[in-house]
A and B are shown apart, each in its own frame.
Chain A
Amino acid sequence: MESSNTFFGEFLAWLPNVQLAHFLIVSAILFALGIYGIATRRNAILVLMGVELVLNAANINLIAFSRYRGTNLDGQVAAIFVIILAAAEAAIALAIVLNIYHRFQTINVDEISTMKE
C-alpha cells in the first residue's frame, strides 16, 4: 500500500483501522440526524422515529466507550437496558399517538393543541 498526499487519500487510509473515533463520529452523526428529525417533522410517528435514532446513537456511544476504554462490559449491559426501555417507551408512545388520532383525527404535531390560537 503506497502513502497518499491528498486529503481524500488520507481519508481512505484512515477508514480501515477502526478506532473509538470512528464509532463516535457515527454516533454523533446519528444523534444529529435524530435531533433534526425530532425538531423538524410534523408527523408524530416520524418524531418517534427520530427519538429512536437518538437512543440508538447513545447506545453506540456507550458500547464504543466500553469496548475501547473500559475493562468490563458495563457499556454493553447499559445498551441492552436502553434497548429494552426504548421498546417499552415506543409501545407507550404509539399507544398515545393512537389516542391522539382518536381525539384529533390527525397526528400533525402542529395541530394537536387545545390552546387558543
Chain B
Amino acid sequence: MTIPMSPDTLIMTAVSILVLPLVGFALMLFFGKKLPRQGDWLETSLITVVLGLALIVLAQKLLNYHDDIIALNFTWVDMHNVPGIGPLKIVLGFQVDNLSAIMVAVVALISTLVHYFSIGYMQGDVRYSRYFAFLGLFSFSMLMIVLADNFFLLYVGWELVGISSYLLIGHWYEKKSASNAAMKAFIVNRIGDVGFFIGIAILYQTFHTFGLREIFEGIRGGHLPYGSEGWLTAAGVLVFCGAVGKSAQFPLHVWLPDAMEGPTPVSALIHAATMVAAGVYLVARTFPMMTADALLVIAYTGAITAFISATIAIAQNDIKKVLAYSTISQLGYMVMALGVGAYTAGFFHLVTHAMFKAGLFLGSGSVIHAMHHALHHQGDHQTDPQDIRNMGGLRTKMPITFWTFVIYTLAISGIPLTSGFLSKDEILAGTLAFGGLSGHVLIPIVGFLVAGLTAFYMFRIVIITFLGDHRDARRLEHIHESPRVMTVPLIILAVLSIFVFYSFNPFGAADGWIARAMERPESVTPASVAPATNHVFEQALHHAHLPAMGLSLLVATLGMLIAFTTYYWKKISADRVAESLKPLHTFLSNKWYFDELYNGVVVEGVLVLTRALRWFDNTIIDGVVNGAGLLTKGISFISGKFDSGVIDGLVNATAYVSGFAGLLFRKFQTGKVQTYIVFAVLSVMIFYFVFRLV
C-alpha cells in the first residue's frame, strides 16, 4: 500500500473509478432485466470495485503526494480562429487533489453501502434493474463532479446528478406525488443552475478557459471579470447559486422534503450524503476566488437555512421529513462554515455528516421496511408506516437498528466521542472566530441555537420511535430486525461515526489526517476584497476553540435533556405546548408556508404569463391569419366580379356586334329579283364612274 503508485497510474485509476459506474449503468439499462436476479450483483460488484480503487487512490494520495495536484488534461475542441470570437480552444480534464480524493472515497463508500442496502430494501420491486442502473448513473455523475478540474465537466456532471435525482425520486412514478416531487426537484435545481451557468459564462468570457487552476491563476495575476472586484463578487455569488439549488439552501430548499417520495436508500445516497453535498463541494472548490462579500452572502445563506429548517423539523411527524429538514439544516451548517472561512471544518462536517446522515436514512429505511412488513401482515394499508406516532418500542425488536440509530443521533447532536462532535465543534469555533473578527454576531448565535434544536428534534425521534411502548402491541409482534444486507451497512456507518477515524484526539481534530489534508487554500482575490487571511483566521480560531466547545456541549445537552423531559419522562406535555403556541406550531408544521408562497407567486405568475400569451396567440396571431384569409376572399371576389363583368361583357358585346351586323347585312337578301337588278345596275355605275373600269 505504501509502494508509491506513479502519478499517471494514479490518475488513470481515478478515471477508471469514474468510468466503471457508467459501464454498469449502460449494462444494467440494456441487459439488466434479462440477467439472473435482474443484475443487482453486477452493479453492486462494480461499485465495490470502485470503492476498493477509491480507497487505494486516497491512501496513495495522502501518503505519497500529500500536497500535490495530479491532473490529466486533454484538448476537446480546438477551432483555431472563429470569425467574431477569436481562438476557441476547450481543454478539459480531471484532477486528483486531497479534496477530490476524499470526496471520491466518501461517494464510493456511501454508494456501495446503499447498493447493498437496496438489495434488501428493494426486493421484489417492480423496476428493480432500472433502479440499480440509475444508481450507477448517479455514481458516475457525482464522481464526475468531484474529479473534474474545469467548470465544463463539472457542469455536465452537475446536470447529470440532477437527472439521476429526478429519475430516482420518481422511481414509483405511478404515484402522482412522486412524479410531482421529481419534477419539483429538477425544476428548482434548474433555477439555481441558471445562476451557476451565468457565473461560468462570466468567468469564461473573462479568462477564455474553463479550467479552475487557470482561472485562479488569472485572478491572482490581477485579471478581474470586466476589470472590477464587484464583478468578481458577482461571479462568486452566481456560482454559489448553483450550490443554493443543489444543496437545498434557502430559498431553493423546497424540493428536498418532497424528494422523500423516492425510495429511502435513494434518500440516503442522494439527498443526504452525496448530491446535496455537491453544492458544498462546489463552494469548497471555488473558495479561492470568493471575495469577502461573496463569502458573507454564503455565510448568511447557510445560517438562515440552518435556522429555518431546524425550526420546521421540530414540528414534523414523518420520520423521513424530519431527516430531510435535518439535512437541509446541516447543509446550512456546512455552507455557513465555508462562508465564515472555516474551510476545513465545513468540509470535515461534510464527510462526517455523509456517514451519519446516510446511516440515519438507512436506519429509518430499516424501520419503515419493518413497519411495512408488519402492517402488511395485519392487512392494514391505511396506517402510515413513516409516521413516528404509529411507532414506539421498536428498540426491543430491532436492536441493531436502534443502537446504530442512537450512535448517529449522538453524532449529529455533537456529543463527545463522535465524529460529529469534532466537526460541529470546529464549525462553531469558526463562527465564533468570524463573529469576533467581523462583528457579525448573528451567525454564531444562530449556529449555537440550531445545535440545540438539532439535539432536541433528533432525540425526539429516537424516543418516540424506539423507546416506550408501541401503539399496537399486536403489530409489534410482527416487527423483525432487518436482514443482514441492511444491517451491516448500518453497523459500518455507525463505526465510521466514531471520532477515532478522523483524529486520535477526541476533543480536537486539528491534528487529524483530515485537517492536515484539507487545509484552507489561500484566497486569490485582490487584497482589497479578500477575506481574512489564513493566518489571521487561524489565530482567531485558536482562541475561539475552547469557548465554542463548552457552549456547544451546553446547548447539545440542554436539547437532549428537554427532549427526554418532554417525551420520555413526560414531565412536559408536548401537546399542551403546541396548543398554547398554536399559531407558531401551525406555521412550523406547515413549513413556513414556503410552498404556498411559491405556488401563489411563481407558479401563478407563470400561469398568468401563459394566459396572456395564449390570448395573444389566439387573438392576434390567429387574427392575422384569419385576416389574410379574408383578404384573399375579398380579392377573389373582386376578381370574380371582374371576370364575369368585364371579360364576359366583352364576349357578349362581340356577339352582340356580330348579331347586329348580321341584322344589318341581312337586308341585302330580300328574295326579290328587282332588288338584285338595282344592285347590278348600281355596281356597273360604280365600276364605270368611280373606278374608270368597264
Contact = CB atoms under 8 A, between A and B. Distances in A.
A, B: real partners: yes
Interface of A: 35, 38-40, 47, 109-110, 113, 115
B678 A110 contact: no
Most buried by A among B672, B673, B674, B678: B674
Contacts of B205: none
B671 A40 contact: no
Nearest to A32: B681
B9 interface: no
A115 to B, nearest CB: 6
Contacts of A39: 674-675, 677-678
A35 B681 CA distance: 8
Given A35-B678, A47-B674, A113-B671, 14 more contacts: A35-B677, A35-B681, A38-B674, A38-B677, A39-B674, A39-B675, A39-B677, A39-B678, A40-B674, A109-B672, A109-B673, A109-B674, A110-B672, A115-B671
Nearest to A110: B672
Nearest to A42: B674
Contacts of A40: 674
7 contacts: A35-B678, A35-B681, A38-B677, A39-B675, A47-B674, A109-B673, A109-B674
Contacts of B681: 35
Contacts of B675: 39
Contacts of A38: 674, 677
Contacts of B672: 109-110
Nearest to A115: B671
Place the interface of chain B in its size category. Answer: under 10
A52 to B, nearest CB: 15
Interface string B162-201: 0000000000000000000000000000000000000000
A65 B346 CA distance: 154
A109 B671 CA distance: 11
A66 to B, nearest CB: 21
Nearest to A37: B674
Contacts of A35: 677-678, 681
Nearest to B670: A110
Contacts of A47: 674
Interface in B639-692: 671-675, 677-678, 681
A90 B466 CA distance: 159
A113 to B, nearest CB: 7
Nearest to B681: A35
B678 to A, nearest CB: 5
A110 B672 CA distance: 7
A38 B678 CA distance: 9
Contacts of B674: 38-40, 47, 109
Nearest to A38: B677
Nearest to B671: A115
Contacts of A115: 671
B525 to A, nearest CB: 122
A11 B675 CA distance: 36
Nearest to A35: B681
A47 B673 CA distance: 11
Closest 4 CB pairs of A and B: A39-B678, A39-B674, A38-B677, A35-B681
A39 B681 CA distance: 10
Contacts of B671: 113, 115
A110 B681 CA distance: 20
A113 B671 CA distance: 9
Interface in B509-531: none
A109 B675 CA distance: 12
A110 to B, nearest CB: 7
A89 to B, nearest CB: 16
Contacts of B677: 35, 38-39
Nearest to A36: B678
A39 B675 CA distance: 6
A48 to B, nearest CB: 12
A107 B672 CA distance: 14
B672 to A, nearest CB: 7
A115 B677 CA distance: 19
B488 to A, nearest CB: 127
Contacts of B678: 35, 39
Interface in B563-581: none
A47 B672 CA distance: 13
Contacts of A113: 671
Interface in B69-91: none
Most buried by B among A39, A47, A109, A115: A39
B386 to A, nearest CB: 115
A109 B678 CA distance: 15
A4 B678 CA distance: 41
Nearest to B675: A39
A39 B673 CA distance: 8
Contacts of B673: 109
A39 B677 CA distance: 7
Interface in B482-528: none
A40 B674 CA distance: 7
A113 B677 CA distance: 17
A39 B672 CA distance: 10
A13 to B, nearest CB: 29
Contacts of A109: 672-674
A85 B468 CA distance: 166
Nearest to A113: B671
A38 B674 CA distance: 6
A38 B681 CA distance: 11
B203 to A, nearest CB: 110
A47 B678 CA distance: 13
A40 B678 CA distance: 10
A112 to B, nearest CB: 10
Nearest to A117: B671
Contacts of A110: 672
